[in-house]
Structure 1
Amino acid sequence: MARMEAMLANLCKEFDDLKKFKEEVISNRQNQDAATQKLEAQVGYLSKQAPSYSSSSATKTTSREECKAITLRSGRELEEKSRETKEEKEEDSSTDKEEAQIPTPSSSEEKEVLKPYVPRAPYPQRLIKNAKDNQFSKFLEIFKKL
């Protein structure tokens, strides 16, 4: 009988612990919901402050002239490399597509034979015989002669 009472007491304790845990989970969920609403409000506020663009054609990419030169710690300046803008890349890709649509005469002589893939050894230095191996073999030969 005492054993049953102890089991019942343990069950009541676990039930109370589960209630507390459930309450904690609910309060955490409410806190997360409140934080999410605050973030949504902040994003909405920032989106209203940001300048809006009427169309995508009105946007202009930053030209290379506006960029500043890069100077290293040593005082040396890096050379400017020309970069294509997105518009130039799109034009190039459209001309490439037009060229690809034009059928080119292909002959069997122009086709390349693909070589099978041969992976490189992960540690090629282990495959090379060392000069010390040769010296050791000479040492053993001399030692045998004695």
Structure 2
Amino acid sequence: MPRLYRLQQVLLVLIGAAISFLGLDFALGGIHTLGWLVTPDYVTATDPSTFVTQDNHVRFLGGVFVAVGLGIVIGGLWLSTLRQSVITLSLLVACAGLFRLSAMAGALSAPVLPSLLLELLAFPVLAFWLWRSGTALDQAAD
């Protein structure tokens, strides 16, 4: 099996695991999070009934994050079969990153900028790399 294929597999498993880890913080902890990335007291609810609803939505979105990460992990493990799926997930991450720009002030802040750059630059490059190298590597892996 070519080295490049193995490199892609390892990279995808690591990327997917990181995305899943980040998602679990919100999927299991809601708006307050489990405290893995920020302290849970960073937000205070002023309207408890609305907070419960929004917290539930955040848990769902965290679950979507976990699912995308797991999809990338699984795609990395079975890359020759699921390459197109991983390319699609990578482009979905890039598309989602565009929505950060709807809050322009926050999008360019120091804490958000690394994530924004990964989403808008690294994931499209990853998708292109996977697409460009795909056919020959998948045939060699089978």
TM-score (structure 2 length as normaliser): 0.24
TM-score (structure 1 length as normaliser): 0.24
More helix by share: 2
Which structure would you say has the larger RCO, counting Cα contacts within 8 Å and 6 or more residues apart? Answer: 2
